[in-house]
Amino acid sequence: MKSSLPKVLHPLAGRPLLEHVIATALRLRPKSVQVVVGHGAEQVRQQLAAYPVNWVDQHEQLGTGHGVLQALPAVSPESTVLVLYGDVPLIGVETLEALVAAAAAAPALLTALVGDPAGYGRILRDAAGALVGVVEHKDATEAQREIAEINTGLLAAPARDLLAYLPRVGNNNKQGEYYLPDILSMAVEEGRTVASCRAASELEVLGVNDRVQLNQLEREYQRRQAERLMRDGVAVADINRLDIRGSLSCGQDVSIDVNVVFEGTVSLGDGVVIGPNCVLHDVTVAAGATIHAMSHLQEARIGAGCSVGPFARLRPGTVLAEGARVGNFVETKKADIGVGSKVNHLSYIGDCVMGDGVNIGAGTITCNYDGVNKHRTEIGDGVFVGSNSTLVAPLLIAEQGFIAAGSTITRAVGTEELAVGRSRQRNIEGWKRPTRQQTED
């Protein structure tokens, strides 16, 4: 990957490659999950510490067989062991269930037919089509390299077989490594039938060895997500320009324009419209709301029928009640904005509780920070705040209060009061515009 980040921590759809694999493994409801780690082990453990897995250190990277051998002491001899790889993130649960079922009495290998098998181990079969072994690409003959069926590396086997075979695996190969698939040849030599399952698609078993392959899997993952949404009735403007980096749930008749990114957990109600080039991170949007172009929402709750943007930034703690409007070049943070209230343009509303039917004029800011502490602004129902006003918190503006444009408000405003906080205008007669002074070169 040419990166300081361990390969299995590189993100696919916003989550580390290894996290996808662990999540899939847990869906099989195993007795335990063992994760064998080597390079960057501590960093990997820290990032995925929330998962119920047992970490196993492989201090020397001596091949797949050696890696599995490190984990066997933590495995019950009566169990079936399924071997997965941290850089193969798109493997499906159904495929793995079939592989485990095939390994009830003997080792079973997952294979795949690929267009370009270069670099993969090839599947060797006898005249009857039975699997007899695997030969790695570097050890294969020219004829064997023509075989299109490859070893995916994913294998299931009774634990007792692994305990019996793995200590006997040698490293007499060009890599000097202990190959896990060598146990298949051992089983065949003992007259046992080794089963195999074939993956549904090549993409399901593709691993990541560089950023090109990572991008290929990213686009495949996103295409699958977009197709799922469209089959569920969501209008996606362009299947190739949508990124879901978490979980997204949608109601009926939702419309998503191009270049929209969903991160974390996002929920969109019936009839929601998301304009182009928006980012939504841990956001709930209720029915009938519209998020206009170029808006960025994080940890916000948007009520029914609201309008946000274009070019709006809603920071954590923002809550918009039904029918509220936040317009272009408006930033909010820890702001509760009431039913039908409007902050239409060029304003900052932070640490604020706003009632219903409030109108905030252009250029208004709540001054919530005194250099040390944050303070709250409370705005009652029906308040009108004129353009270019500065509201210095802590501050209370009671119901139906009116703030004159251009005011700096530093003390409470009572019900139906007009507050004017600006200096008196003076017009100076006979004033002359300054002129540029001539200077020598």
Nearest to 103 by CA among 154, 138, 67: 154
User: Which pLDDT does position 133 carry in this prediction?
Assistant: 84
Average of per-residue pLDDT across 278-293: 98
Whether residue 207 contacts residue 88, with contact meaning beta carbons closer than 8 Å, is answered with: yes
| pLDDT at 382 > cutoff 90 | yes
Token pair in block for residue 57: 């250190």
Pairing of strands 348-354, 325-328: unpaired
3-state SS of the chain is CCCCCCHHHCEECCEEHHHHHHHHHHHCCCCCCEEEECCCHHHHHHHCCCCCCEEEECCCCCCHHHHHHHHHHHCCCCCEEEECCCCCCCCCHHHHHHHHHHCCCCCEEEEEECCCCCCCCEEEECCCCCEEEEECHHHCCCCHHHCCEEEEEEEEEEHHHHHHHHHHCCCCCCCCCCCCCHHHHHHHHCCCCCEEEECCCCHHHCCCCCHHHHHHHHHHHHHHHHHHHHHCCCEECCCCCEEEEEEEEECCCCEECCCEEEEEEEEECCCCEECCCCEEECCEECCCCEECCCCEEECCEECCCCEECCCCEECCCCEECCCCEEEECCEEEEEEECCCCEEEECCEEEEEEECCCCEECCCCEEECECCCCECCEEECCCCEECCCCEEECCEEECCCCEECCCCEECCCECCCCEECCCCCCCCCCCCCCCCCCCCCC
Cα 255 to Cα 290: distance, rounded to the nearest angstrom: 10
Helical packing angle, 17-27 and 93-102, nearest 10°? 60
| pLDDT at 357 > cutoff 90 | yes
Angle (CA) 407-410-412 rounded to 5° is 105
| pLDDT at 438 > cutoff 80 | no
User: Which pLDDT does position 119 carry in this prediction?
Assistant: 84
User: Which pLDDT does position 176 carry in this prediction?
Assistant: 87
pLDDT tens digits, 98-157 = 999 999 889 999 999 998 898 888 999 989 888 888 898 989 999 999 999 998 989 999
345 annotated active-site: yes
Select which of 66, 281, 296, 345 is catalytic.
Answer: 345
Backbone φ and ψ for 300, nearest 5 degrees, come out as: -125, 155
Nearest to 77 by CA among 188, 167, 154, 157: 157
Reported confidence tier of residue 97, pLDDT bands at 50, 70, 90: very high
Whether residue 137 contacts residue 123, with contact meaning beta carbons closer than 8 Å, is answered with: no
Q: What is the pTM of this model?
A: 0.90
User: Which pLDDT does position 405 carry in this prediction?
Assistant: 97
* Domains with residue ranges and CATH for the chain: 7-200 (3.90.550.10), 211-419 (2.160.10.10)
Burial of 346 (0-12, 13-18, 19+ CB in 10 A): middle
Whether residue 217 contacts residue 234, with contact meaning beta carbons closer than 8 Å, is answered with: no
User: Which pLDDT does position 441 carry in this prediction?
Assistant: 64
